[in-house]
């Protein structure tokens, strides 16, 4: 992993994987071409193209296609984000490895057996997304004991991230769980394994400017993961109306919701979410049990359907996840301009 990161432009910027269909081959390739790590989200890829009525088969085919399309567009570093909570998680991971993704990022749960999917000679790196030093330590211990393998990188995601969050609602505003504190704790925790492998720590959640990057790297992180900033780029794979929702959002519009998957989530408030909070039930019509933790029976709406609708600009039947600083977006720019801006801000903060 150190070799992989050494070939990237500094500071190291990883574009966070965003589902459903927000970060596909177009965005991932654009970021990789600018010296970062571009990431495709594997969540719900086949929802709109399940012609054979098999959602899981459609997901695999779509993932294969997106990785291959990205490879045609860049020689840079490409990753895939795969949620552990996805019902077909094993097949998605195997597909990433078969298609030779450079790195797999696994979140939405604590994966204790990820190395078992690696094939002989595989060069795909394995990264985990955690929200505590305890989780980082446990994963390292389990992987080392069972597979003689340690994570190639650990992403520490704080409570200001967008989408599903690995914290309770009470913890989101508790300073004990601030990203800065978590980074220091995880950096210190993995030092116990440094004699076997140097594990880069990547910080995520609420990082918005080059100055933010400087502050977090000073705490010992090797790089940052950013998602929200990349939504308002020309190359982002979402509909223009999805991007405009970020630009139109006010600070008070960024709210915490209770997701059908059993986790709190950060999203942009709209009519759809207001109706849900008032008790309205949207037709679910569950295609399949795509997320293991989803309460299909009692849920007022289908999370995948709602996110796909939003991705396509239909906010009457969906909503957008977003990070805590999404309201700062003012215009749509290119990935090239965004990466240059972040690096210039970082350099200024370092001077």
- What pTM was computed for the model? 0.95
CB 46, CB 262: distance < 8 Å: no
- pLDDT value at position 1? 72
CB 83, CB 109: distance < 8 Å: yes
Q: Which residues contact 156 (CB under 8 A, 6 or more apart)?
A: 130, 131, 136, 179, 182, 183, 186, 201, 202, 203, 204, 221
Block residue for tokens 């609602």? 169
pLDDT beneath 70: ranges in the chain: 2, 50-53, 282-289, 292
And the tokens for 103? 């790195």
What are the start-end ranges of the E strands in the chain? 13-15, 37-41, 77-83, 103-107, 125-130, 153-157, 163-164, 201-204, 223-226, 254-258, 264-268
DSSP code, position 173: G
- pLDDT value at position 300? 83
- pLDDT value at position 58? 86
- pLDDT value at position 67? 98
Instruction: Give residue limits of the domains in the chain.
Output: 2-238+329-350, 240-311
Pairing of strands 163-164, 264-268: antiparallel
Question: Environment class of residue 201 by beta-carbon count within 10 Å: exposed (0-12), middle (13-18) or buried (19+)?
Answer: buried
Top CATH class, 2-238+329-350 = alpha beta
If phi over 0 gives left and psi between -120 and 50 gives alpha, with beta otherwise, what is residue 161? beta
- pLDDT value at position 292? 64
- pLDDT value at position 287? 66
Length of the chain: 351
- pLDDT value at position 262? 82
- pLDDT value at position 280? 80
Query: Quick check: helix, strand or coil at residue 105?
Result: strand
| pLDDT tens readout for residues 206-250 | 999 999 999 999 999 999 999 999 999 999 999 999 999 999 999
């Amino acid at each position: 992993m150190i070799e992989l990161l050494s070939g990237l432009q500094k500071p190291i910027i990883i574009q966070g994987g965003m589902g459903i269909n927000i970060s596909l081959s177009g965005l991932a390739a654009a970021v990789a071409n600018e010296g970062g790590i571009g990431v495709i989200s594997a969540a719900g890829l086949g929802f709109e193209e399940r012609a054979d009525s098999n959602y899981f088969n459609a997901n695999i085919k779509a993932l294969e296609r997106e990785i291959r399309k990205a490879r045609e567009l860049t020689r840079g570093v490409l990753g895939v984000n795969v949620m552990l909570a996805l019902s077909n998680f094993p097949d998605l991971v195997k597909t990433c490895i078969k298609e030779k993704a450079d790195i797999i990022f696994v979140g939405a749960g604590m994966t204790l057996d990820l190395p078992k999917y690696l094939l002989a000679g595989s060069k795909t790196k394995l990264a985990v997304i955690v929200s505590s030093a305890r989780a980082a330590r446990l994963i390292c211990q389990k992987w080392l004991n069972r597979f003689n393998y340690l994570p190639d990188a650990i992403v520490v995601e704080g409570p200001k991230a967008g989408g599903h969050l690995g914290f309770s609602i009470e913890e989101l505003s508790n300073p004990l769980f601030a990203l800065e504190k978590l980074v220091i704790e995880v950096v210190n925790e993995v030092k116990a394994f440094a004699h076997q492998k140097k594990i880069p720590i990547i910080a995520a959640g609420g990082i918005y400017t080059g100055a933010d990057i400087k502050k977090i790297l000073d705490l010992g992180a090797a790089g940052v993961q950013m998602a929200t900033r990349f939504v308002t780029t020309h190359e982002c794979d979402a509909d223009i109306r999805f991007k405009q929702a970020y630009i139109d959002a006010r600070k008070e519009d960024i709210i915490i919701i209770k997701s059908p998957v059993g986790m709190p989530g950060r999203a942009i408030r709209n009519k759809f979410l207001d109706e849900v909070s008032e008790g309205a039930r949207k037709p679910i019509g569950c295609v399949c049990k795509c997320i293991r933790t989803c309460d299909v029976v009692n849920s007022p709406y289908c999370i995948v359907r709602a996110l796909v609708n939003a991705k396509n600009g239909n906010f009457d039947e969906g909503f957008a996840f977003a990070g805590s600083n999404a309201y700062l977006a003012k215009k749509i720019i290119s990935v090239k301009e965004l990466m240059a801006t972040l690096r210039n801000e970082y350099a200024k903060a370092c001077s």
